[in-house]
Amino acid sequence: MQANEYYQKVVELTAGNQPLWQASIIHTDGSSPARTGMKLLIPLSGTVYGNLGGGELEHKIIEFVREHQPPQAQQLSFDLGSGELGDHKPTAMICGGSATVFIEALFVTHQLFIIGAGHCGKALGHLAKLCGFWVHLVDNRQDILDLIPEESFHMRQVNDFSAISQAVSFGPNSWIVIMTHGHLHDKQVLQQCLSQDFRYLGMIGSRNKVSETFALLSRQGYSLDLLQKVHAPIGLTIGSQQPYEIAISIMAELIRELRLN
């Protein structure tokens, strides 16, 4: 792949903030099929683009990225048969050298899915977008979504809440806040999310409402350990009442989770 084709592919794949990582060879020593400057684009599935010299080295890097989905840039060193492992990851290659790879995400890794686009959802989307999250607004009302200004979302989608996985990309970088209109679908959405992978899962509501919901889910067989992963009632206690006040309390909790955990 020529350089211009490679960077055209970068532009194409990053347009919708789909999960995508770039792996670059930044150093080699001894005999190695990899050369400094080689690059590879790695989506979560499907075709990769570019070249790191092929073989086991390339396979291990793809495997690492898809398994760990690293949110922060990092570098990895691989032993290619030199026998001097140190901090290098082993391979079965017999080239006799080593290679160091720099891996970085080419998308906004922290994706916030706000399930419910009412006044609080709209306010939270606005704050989260300002704070660097990629914001997905999900609601079962097309007319409400149509009225939301672009300052409050990157993407918006209609979903009737019966198949929330069609709107939420679950994974270690997924942040989910449940606040459906009138709380009518909160439990339905929560049940679907509990069995999935996520970084953060929170649900709005009073302590009584949350307690009743958890008691019902417990009777249905959901374990206490699983329910304790849910942040509910959501947000820091600051006496918030108005939509933006509530959004600030939730945003503060998201930031605390992001920076301190």
Question: pLDDT tens, 163-178?
Answer: 999 999 999 889 999 9
C-alpha angle 174-221-224 in degrees, rounded to nearest 5: 60
The side-by-side arrangement of strands in the sheet containing 111-115 is: 155-158, 134-139, 111-115, 174-178, 200-203, 230-231
The pLDDT of residue 91:
66
The pLDDT of residue 86:
46
**89 vs 255, which has greater pLDDT?**
255
Is 215 a residue whose pLDDT tops 70?
A: yes
Cα 35 to chain centroid, rounded: 31
Report whether 126 contacts 111 (CB < 8 A). Answer: no
**pTM of this prediction exceeds 0.75:** yes
Q: 3-state DSSP helix/strand/coil percent for the chain, to nearest 5? A: 35, 25, 40
The pLDDT of residue 226:
94
Least confident of 27-36, 101-110, 159-168, 210-219: 27-36
Report whether 141 contacts 181 (CB < 8 A). Answer: yes
Q: What is the pLDDT of residues 54-105, one digit of tens each?
A: 788 899 999 999 999 998 899 999 887 655 544 566 665 556 678 899 999 9
Q: What's the CATH fold of domain 111-260?
A: Rossmann fold (3.40.50)
Residue ranges per structural domain of the chain? 3-105, 111-260
Q: Is 201 left (phi over 0), alpha (psi -120 to 50) or beta?
A: beta
Q: At what angle do helices 119-130 and 243-260 cross, to 10 degrees?
A: 40
DSSP 158: E
Report whether 190 contacts 203 (CB < 8 A). Answer: yes
